[in-house]
Amino acid sequence: MKHIFIINPSAGREDSTALIEQQVGLYATRHTDFDHLIYTTRSMGDATQWVDQWCRQHPGQPVRFYACGGDGTLNEVVSGAVDHPDCQVSCFPCGSGNDYIKYYGSLDDFTHLDRLIEGIPHPVDVMKIDYPADDGSTATRYSINICNFGFDAMVCKTGNDIRRTPIIGGRHSYTTGIIRSLFTSRSNYVRMSVDGQPFFDGHMLLCTLGNGRYNGGKYMCAPLSLNDDGLLEVNLFRRMSLARFASLVGDYSRGTHIHRPDAQRLMLYRQATTATIESHKPFWLVIDGEMLHASRYQVQNLRHAVTFVSPRPTESSI
């Protein structure tokens, strides 16, 4: 199998290219038969195009791509890998947000290169998002972890804007985004259906559609999610007062919000395979930390659309 490391030099608070090249070089020195390649992305979307093109030029050749960045880099690599059955995807996390990998373990687990290269493959689900492009055609994007809109989307947009800002950026970006959005984005109108049935029509706080479980660095938005069952976890929070919202944040972080006695008054929750979301005017939809802006989205969960590789467990964890 060929191992290709896709490095996003813009991910995180500093460029991790030299660190990754050093670790890959050390592994190759110890394993002389290690067939590998390093590619550094040049712009947004470059990883998707490069991965897709490589697979088309090498049909039938087993390959594993390592997304070296955050959730956005993983999103781009996954998007290029969809529809290529000989392709696997993994992640060497060095971005400001690394939420998907929390499904399998810690950040530290994924930064042990030996364990990652000798990892375990898992067929996992991917969301397909169709939305109207500026030229009137239908554009398509993919998401492996979480789609979210409403309050959460504005939090993410703020986090992206300030992620390299000292003190309030980096791992604090999401918290900073929450504070700002508390005053700007607590009431958002949407009309939504799931699996062809009406689900919600009105003003809401936020909504997530998930295959992964975590969002925003530490928030367990979808604690019941299984990333290989073909089902999305749809979790919509109704519009609420600032005091009620403040009382919810702790549970939302721990993933216990769905068990609160007042959960039915605060939120709507269900599993589904498809969802349609629309509003009177364009709104932000976040896919694995990347931003889309349209007035209508159709989301379809594709079961086992890619193979994701998690690190080999240590003896103590078996």
Which tens digit of pLDDT belongs to each residue from 171-186? 666 666 676 666 667 7
Closest to 221 in 3D by CA, of 146, 300, 132: 146
Q: For residues 194 and 275, what is the distance between their CA atoms, to the nearest angstrom? A: 4
Q: For residues 148 and 118, what is the distance between their CA atoms, to the nearest angstrom? A: 33
CB count within 10 Å of CB 6 equals 28
- CATH number 2.30.30.100 is the correct assignment for the domain at 2-124+305-317: no
| pLDDT, position 264 | 86
CB count within 10 Å of CB 206 equals 26
| pLDDT, position 9 | 87
Q: Which residues face 168 on adjacent strands? A: none
Model confidence at 136, in pLDDT bands (50, 70, 90)?
confident
Q: Where is average pLDDT lowest: 121-125, 240-244, 276-280, 312-316?
A: 312-316
Q: For residues 151 and 169, what is the distance between their CA atoms, to the nearest angstrom? A: 19
Q: Where are the domains of the chain?
A: 2-124+305-317, 129-304
Q: For residues 173 and 155, what is the distance between their CA atoms, to the nearest angstrom? A: 9
* Predicted confidence (pLDDT) per residue in 144-165, tens digit: 999 999 887 877 777 666 666 6
Q: For residues 34 and 39, what is the distance between their CA atoms, to the nearest angstrom? A: 16
| pLDDT, position 176 | 67
Place of tokens 């079961």: 303
**What is the value of pTM for the model shown?**
0.90
Length of the chain: 318
Stretch 291-304: mean pLDDT, rounded?
A: 96
Stretch 204-208: mean pLDDT, rounded?
A: 93
What's the first-to-final CA gap in the chain, in angstroms?
Answer: 26
Collapsing DSSP states into helix, strand and coil, what is residue 111? coil
| pLDDT, position 315 | 63
* Element containing residue 292 per DSSP (H, E): strand 290-310
| pLDDT, position 156 | 73
Is the model's pLDDT at 167 over the cut of 80? no
DSSP assignment of 34-88: --EEEEE--STTHHHHHHHHHHHHSTT--EEEEEEESHHHHHHHHHHHTT-TTEE
Is the model's pLDDT at 75 over the cut of 60? yes
pLDDT above 70 coverage of the chain, percent: 90
Q: For residues 226 and 112, what is the distance between their CA atoms, to the nearest angstrom? A: 25
* Predicted confidence (pLDDT) per residue in 2-36, tens digit: 999 999 988 767 778 888 999 999 999 999 999 99
| pLDDT, position 162 | 62
| pLDDT, position 183 | 66
Is the model's pLDDT at 169 over the cut of 60? no
Tell me which fold the domain 129-304 belongs to. Answer: Tumour Suppressor Smad4 (2.60.200)
Place of tokens 């009620």: 244
| pLDDT, position 61 | 96
| pLDDT, position 166 | 64
Beta carbons of 191 and 281 less than 8 angstroms apart: no
Q: What is the DSSP letter of 269?
A: E
The tokens describing 198, both together, are: 């009406």
Closest to 40 in 3D by CA, of 65, 68, 71: 68
| pLDDT, position 160 | 66
| pLDDT, position 51 | 98
